[in-house]
Amino acid sequence: MSDIGSIFSTWDIIVMILVACAPGFVIGAAFGAWRGFGKNPGRRLRGAIVFGLTGFALAFAGWWFYLMVFK
């Protein structure tokens, strides 16, 4: 039986997830802004937001897969 609920609160776990997935967001946002290079600034911002959220989701899925399957 897991005792993670008694060690960490819900907010602690949310902060851990945000910290662990932050590099995926940054890399995705940088790629999205670079992909919109030479275009209007609105397109760069939209690309950064979409790719940043995609990078965050992929990092989250990667961590989940690693922790659930390999550990």
Query: Which pLDDT tens digit goes with each residue over 31-40?
Result: 998 887 666 7
Residues 35, 36, 39, 40, Cα dihedral to 10° = -170
Per the structure, the complete domain to which residue 25 belongs is given by 4-70
* pLDDT value of residue 23: 95
Quote the pLDDT of residue 42: 80
Q: pLDDT under 70 in the chain at which residues?
A: 1-6, 37-39
Q: What is the pTM of this model?
A: 0.79
Domain count, the chain: 1
pLDDT of residue 2: 61
Res 31: pLDDT: 92
